[in-house]
Amino acid sequence: MSDEQEAEVAEEEETESQDGLQEGDFISLDYTARTVEDDDLVDTTSADVAEEEGVEAEGREFGPRTIVLGAGHIFEPVEEDIYGKEAGDEGTVTVEQAFGEYDNEQVRTVSADKISEDDRYPGARVNVDGQQGHVETIIGGRARVDFNHPLAGEDLEYEYEIVEEVEDADEKAKGLFSMYIDADLDMWIQTDEVEEEVEDEEGETETETVEKETLYIEATPQLSMNQQWMFQKQQIAQDVIDRLDLDRVIVQETIEGGGMGGMMGGMGGMGMGDADIEEALEDVDVDEDEIVEELEAEGEDEDEAAAEDADATEE
């Protein structure tokens, strides 16, 4: 086989290897994860599976998850198994020690005073000095706490189905946000025309109208009070901007009219604005010298009255 033929074969093999889903693709994924040793349910997107296992469903939303391949949204062995597949394909993958090895040194004795009285019992999830763990035993004023991940050392089995490849930009945005924030948010992407000051080659600035791809998010109390959003909004927004090739993210709050707020706004409108006051002053014919003379005359009259009062007192 000639060098040219070998190059063509290599190119064909590389093209074939790129068929199907690849890094950076957005997919909708159904999955169920269980421990290999005890077959305990760890996570699932299926409401039926959760019900069979007696999992408390209140406050949780079940259904396929939108993820980005290669973004660390699922375990790497699962991603590797998905690459090259298509919508409708299924698979089963074993993830060895998904949450790391079990470390005996992470089991430590601490003062029971560092644990809330309500959590001083075996099995309680606690936070000690900023580290999460669970209580193994409490004897006297000492507590034995395991700071390993609850699933450390466990192998997990993932059963998954690729529901579809996600193409809609709005759905991609919602999927990305769901990785960070467990809240049902209204969001949409639109192209805005924005006026900006730009500098030309000669260093002079001029106003130009530019287009910006913008993700709008309707703010909700759940979003405003979400701690991860409060402390990481810049990083979250930047991740969405980079992955969806956007220019900006705008979080907007809608306040409905009516009520006392609307009444106060209406009452404020009855008053005079700055422009009205200036116009009114301009209409008044005021002579500054006359005002000064009147003030001085009033001062002299007051002095004379005070002197007369003093004389009358002496008499």
7 in a structural domain: no
257 in a structural domain: no
Predicted local confidence at residue 254, as pLDDT: 78
From the list 242, 195, 197, 181, the residue with the least C-alpha distance to 215 is 242
Same domain, residue pair 158 and 140: no
229 in a structural domain: yes
Predicted local confidence at residue 311, as pLDDT: 54
**Rounded CA separation 97/151 (Å):** 8
13 in a structural domain: no
From the list 293, 294, 300, the residue with the least C-alpha distance to 308 is 300
**CA distances in angstroms from 69 to 18, 32, 85, listed in the order given:** 14, 18, 12
Same domain, residue pair 158 and 31: yes
Predicted local confidence at residue 299, as pLDDT: 60
**Rounded CA separation 219/221 (Å):** 7
Domain housing 184: 169-252
Please count the structural domains in the chain.
4
Same domain, residue pair 184 and 241: yes
**Rounded CA separation 34/156 (Å):** 6
88 in a structural domain: yes
11 in a structural domain: no
By the 8 A CB rule, do 73 and 179 touch?
yes
For the chain, residues with pLDDT lower than 70 are: 1-18, 58-59, 258-315
262 in a structural domain: no
Same domain, residue pair 122 and 184: no
Predicted local confidence at residue 250, as pLDDT: 93
95-118 CB burial, b ≥16 within 10 A, e <16? beebbeeeeeeeeeebebeebeee
Predicted local confidence at residue 270, as pLDDT: 42
Same domain, residue pair 184 and 61: no
Same domain, residue pair 130 and 161: no
Same domain, residue pair 194 and 239: yes
CATH number at residue 117: 2.40.10
Instruction: Measure the CA angle with vertex 262, ends 261 and 266; round to 5°.
Output: 120
Predicted local confidence at residue 265, as pLDDT: 47
Please give the model's pTM, rounded to 2 decimal places.
0.67
